[in-house]
Amino acid sequence: MNALDPYDTSRGVDDVAVVFRRWRAWSDEVRAQRLHARDLRYGPSADETLDLMVPHTGAPLIVFFHGGYWRRLHKDDTTFVMRGFAPLGVATAVVNYGLAPALRLEEIVAQARRSVSWLRANAKEHGADPARIVVAGHSAGGHLAAMCAVDAPVAGVATLSGLHDFTPNLRAYTEAWLQLDDARAAALSPARLAPAAPTQVLARAGLRESDDFHQQGRALVDAWRGCGCEGSYAETDDNHFSIVERLVDSHDPLTGAIADLALAAGKRHAKV
How far from 202 is each of 3, 45, 166, 257, CA to CA, in Å? 27, 31, 20, 8
Note the helical H segments in 152-272.
168-178, 182-187, 211-225, 242-245, 253-271
% of the chain at pLDDT higher than 70: 96
With a cut of 80, say whether residue 127 has pLDDT above it: yes
What is the pTM for the complete model shown? 0.96
Average pLDDT, the chain: 95
With a cut of 70, say whether residue 271 has pLDDT above it: no
Report the pLDDT averaged over residues 98-122.
98
pLDDT score at 265? 86
Helix (H) / strand (E) containing 251: none
pLDDT score at 143? 98
CATH (one of 3.40.228.10, 3.40.50.1820, 2.60.40.420, 3.30.565.10) for 9-271: 3.40.50.1820
pLDDT score at 35? 86
pLDDT score at 12? 78
Name every residue whose Cβ is closer than 8 Å to that of residue 28 and which is 6 or more positions away in sequence.
76
Helix (H) / strand (E) containing 247: none
DSSP structure string for 116-146? HHHHHHHGGGGTEEEEEEEEEEETHHHHHHH
Our measurement of the distance from residue 146's CA atom to the centroid of its chain's CA atoms, rounded to an integer in Å, reads 8
With a cut of 60, say whether residue 167 has pLDDT above it: yes
- Alpha-carbon distance of 137 to 230, in angstroms, equals 18
Map out the domains of the chain as residue ranges.
Answer: 9-271
pLDDT score at 163? 98
Confidence of residue 267 (pLDDT cuts 50, 70, 90): low
pLDDT score at 133? 98
Name every residue whose Cβ is closer than 8 Å to that of residue 57 and which is 6 or more positions away in sequence.
127
- Alpha-carbon distance of 179 to 152, in angstroms, equals 27
- Alpha-carbon distance of 156 to 184, in angstroms, equals 25
Tell me the per-residue pLDDT of 169-210, one tens digit each, with 9 for 90 and over: 999 999 999 999 999 999 999 999 999 999 999 999 999 999
% of the chain at pLDDT higher than 90: 92
Tell me the per-residue pLDDT of 14-65, one tens digit each, with 9 for 90 and over: 899 999 999 999 999 999 988 899 999 999 999 999 999 999 999 999 999 9
Tell me the per-residue pLDDT of 130-162, one tens digit each, with 9 for 90 and over: 999 999 999 999 999 999 999 999 999 999 999
Give CA torsion, residues 172, 3, 74, 43, to 10 deg: -30
- Alpha-carbon distance of 49 to 169, in angstroms, equals 32
User: Rounded to the nearest 5°, which phi and psi values hold at 25?
Assistant: -65, -45
- Alpha-carbon distance of 265 to 272, in angstroms, equals 11
pLDDT score at 95? 98
